[in-house]
A and B are shown apart, each in its own frame.
Chain A
Amino acid sequence: MSGSDRNGSPASLGCPVPTRKGEVIVLGHGSGGRLTSELVNRVFLPALSNPLLDCLNDSAEVQVGTSRVVFTTDSFVVNPLRFPGGDIGSLAVNGTVNDLAVAGGRPIGLSAAFILEEGLPIAELEAIVQSMRRAADRAGVAVIAADTKVVEHGKADGLFITTSGIGVVAGGIELGAERIQVGDAVLVSGPIGDHGIAVMSAREGLEFQTTTVSDSAPLNGLVSRMLESGGAIRCMRDPTRGGVATVINELAKSSGVEIVIEETAVPVRNGVRAACEILGLDPLYVACEGRLVAIVDSAGAEQVLAAMRHHPLGGSSCRIGAVIRSGGPRVLLRTAFGTTRPLDVLAGAQLPRIC
C-alpha cells in the first residue's frame, strides 16, 4: 500500500504480517485465477522451466519410441470429503482421467498418493478407496502405483489425494491452442457449475438444500466419440477450478485470439443459477468436474455436437460462442441486451457478497 500515511496508527494495531503484501501464500493463490498464474510465473516456471512445462497445458506430451505419451498430475483437497454426486476418491480419478482425455490421450494407468491425517476413520478411507476403484472401472483405467503418508492430527484436512496419469495419443490426433483459428466455434458439453455448487451446498457453515449433484465423471468416452465425429477439433479443456471463464481465457491467451461468449447460450441449471444468485457467485467461474470446453472448426461443429449429444455425458452439449478475430487475447461476454463486457480471469477467490 504505497503512499499510505500511518499518522495516528499506534503500533498495537500493527498487522502480524511482517512482510509486504504478496509475500506469503494466501487462499487466492489456489483459485486458478490471476494470483495462481502470478505464482506459477514467479516461482515455478523460473525454477523448473522447460519447453513441455512452459506450455502450461493440462497434460504434457512426450514422444517415447514411436508412441505419443501424455502425462499429468493433480492434487485433491476438497472439503467436505463427500458431497452430493461424489467424493474425493472418485474426483481424484476423474480429474486426472479428464486431464489426459482433453489432451487426446487414452488413459492407460494412474498413480495415487494419499496424505492421511491422524484420526481419520479407516472406514471412511475404505469407502473413499472403494469409490476410486468404481470410478477407475468406469473410466476403464487402473491405479497401478500408490503411496501413503500419515501426518499428525491438525496437519491435514482428513485426507489429501494426489493422482498422476499416463495416456497414449493415437496417430492423427492433433490438438493444441495454437491450432485455434478465427471463425471457430466454442462448444461446452453440458450445464456448468454443478460440481462447485454441490460441494458448496455440503460445506460446513453453508449447508443449503439443493438437488444439484456434482457432474464429476470421466470424459474419455465422450472425447473418443468427438474425435471420431469427423469434425476438426482444435483444442479441448476441462473447466475445473476457475470454471469456464478461466479456461476460455487460457485458450484465448495461448492462441492470441478474441473470443465472444453469448451469455444466453451458456447452459446453467436452475438450481445452480439460484444458488449462485444467493451466494453472489458467477456460474462462469464455478468449477465443473465432468464437462469440457472444445474449440472446433465451425464447418464441422454440428457434426461434433451431434456426436457429443449421442453420448450420455454430452446430452445437452451446445455452442456458446465463437473466435471472432486474431490480435487478442481477449474474451468478451455478450449479454441478453446486446451489450458486451470483458470476461476476465478472477483476481483471487470468488468472494461471497454482503447484500
Chain B
Amino acid sequence: MKFLDEFRDAAAVRTLLERIRATITRPWIIMEVCGGQTHTIVHYGLDELLPREVTLVHGPGCPVCVTPIEMIDFAIELSTRQGLTLCSFGDMLRVPGSTCDLFDARAAGADVRVVYSPLDALDLARREPMREVVFFAVGFETTAPTTAMAVHQAARLKVPNFSVIVAHVRVPPAIEAILSADDNRVQGFLAAGHVCTVMGIDEYWPLVERFKVPIVVTGFEPVDLLQGVEMCVAQLEQGRAEVENQYARSVRNAGNVTARDLLAEVFIFVDRRWRGLDTLPKSALSLSDRYAAYDAIRRFGLTQARANEPMECRAGEVLRGLLKPTQCPAFGSSCTPDHPLGAPMVSSEGACAAYFRAGRLATAAAEETEAK
C-alpha cells in the first residue's frame, strides 16, 4: 500500500538502526509525545531493536488519557437525560469516570453513539431535530479542526439542537510542563506529526530556545520513528537544540492555514486540568463568545466539580515519562484493559494498554534492564 509499505520496510529499518548505533556514544532519554507513536513503537517492538543507550519514554499525547475525569462525568451525566443523544469517538466510551464509563451508561439505557467525525453528530442532529445531540469533543490540535468545522456549520445552518463538550487540548503547554518539572529526565522530544500538520512547527521554537532540548516533528510509521530518533540523537550528540521536521511529507512550517484560521475563529485558549498533569495554563480549547451557544456545559447548566482519580492509578507519572507502565504496581493486576483503573489502559493510544497488548508484563521491567 503506497505511503505505508515504504515506511514499514524492514531493510530501511535495519539501515536506520545501524546509523543510530554508529552515531550514539552515550545514554539519552527521548520522549515520543503522541500515543499513536507509542503504539507503533510497542506494536513493532522498535524499542527492543534500538541500541541500549536510547531510552524511549512515552508522553502525554493520548487525548483520551489526559481528558479530566470531571469532563467524562459531564458526558455521562448528560447521556442519561431524556431526549438527548451523546456522541463521541469509540475510545472515549470505555474511559472510567468517577463511577462508570459511557458504555455502562449505554447499557443502562442512555443513548450513546460512536461516531467517526463530529460532522456525523451534526448530521444526526439535523436528521433528528427533536433530540438534543451533544458531541463530546476530545483530542489535540489534530481533531480540533473537525470539531471547529462542526460548530461553524451548526451556526451557519442554524442547527439549534447540536452542542459540544469541548475537551480539546494543546501539545506545547504539555511539553512545557514536563520540561519545567524539577524531576524531568527527558532530553529530547519526538513531536506529533499530525498535530504539526495542523499547527505548523513555529510554536515549538520558544520551547527549544528556553529549555535547550531538541524537538523533532515525527511521523507514525516505524521508519518515521527511527528517522526521528536518528535526528534527535544526532542533535543531542552534537549539542544542538533545534526544531527539525522529519515528517515533511505532511508538515509545512506554517501548518494548515485554513484549519488554523478556523480554530482561531471558533476557539479560545483556556487553562485546564489534565489527567495526571494538573492545571496547565492556556492548555485547552473552549468555544469563543461568538459560538458560546453551542457549549453543552453552558446549555445544560453543568457545574464544574473536581472528581478525584483512583489512588492506585499512577497514570500521571506514566504520562510525564517518570514511570514505565510496567513499573506501576497496578499494571496487569488490578488494572487491565478489561478493568482499567485509568485511561492509559483503555485507549489504543494509551501507553499502558500498548504495553499490556504487547505482552510487557510487570516482570518485563526487570528483564528490560537486564537485557540492556
Contact = CB atoms under 8 A, between A and B. Distances in A.
A264 B76 CA distance: 42
B164 to A, nearest CB: 15
A42 interface: no
Nearest to B222: A337
B311 interface: yes
A35 B76 contact: no
B348 interface: yes
Interface size class of B (residues with CB under 8 A): 35 or more
A285 to B, nearest CB: 11
B359 interface: yes
Interface string B63-91: 11000001001101100100000000111
B308 A5 contact: yes
A270 B3 CA distance: 13
Chain A interface, DSSP helix/strand/loop, else mixed: loop
Interface stretch (A14-22, A77-85, A92-100): A14-22
Contacts of A265: none
A206 interface: yes
B11 to A, nearest CB: 10
Given A336-B10, A351-B91, A353-B348, A15 B45 contact: no
B108 A354 contact: no
A335 B44 contact: yes
B103 interface: yes
A62 interface: no
Interface string B148-165: 000000000000000000
Contact of A347 (B48, B63, B337): B337
B181 interface: no
Contacts, number: 177
B99 A14 contact: yes
B73 A353 contact: no
Interface in B336-351: 336-339, 341, 347-349
Nearest to A277: B4
B98 A9 contact: yes
A13 B305 contact: yes
Interface string A336-353: 111111101001100111
Contacts of B91: 351-354
A337 B49 contact: yes
A10 B222 contact: no
A17 B349 CA distance: 27
Interface in A218-277: 270, 273-274, 277
Contact of B63 (A26, A35, A354): A354
A15 B76 contact: yes
Nearest to B310: A4
Interface in A1-53: 1-10, 12-17, 21-22, 24-28, 34-35, 38
A280 interface: yes
Interface of A: 1-10, 12-17, 21-22, 24-28, 34-35, 38, 205-206, 270, 273-274, 277, 279-280, 335-342, 344, 347-348, 351-355
7 contacts: A3-B312, A4-B310, A4-B311, A12-B77, A21-B101, A342-B359, A355-B142
Given A16-B105, A274-B1, A355-B139, 5 more contacts: A7-B308, A13-B73, A13-B76, A351-B91, A355-B194
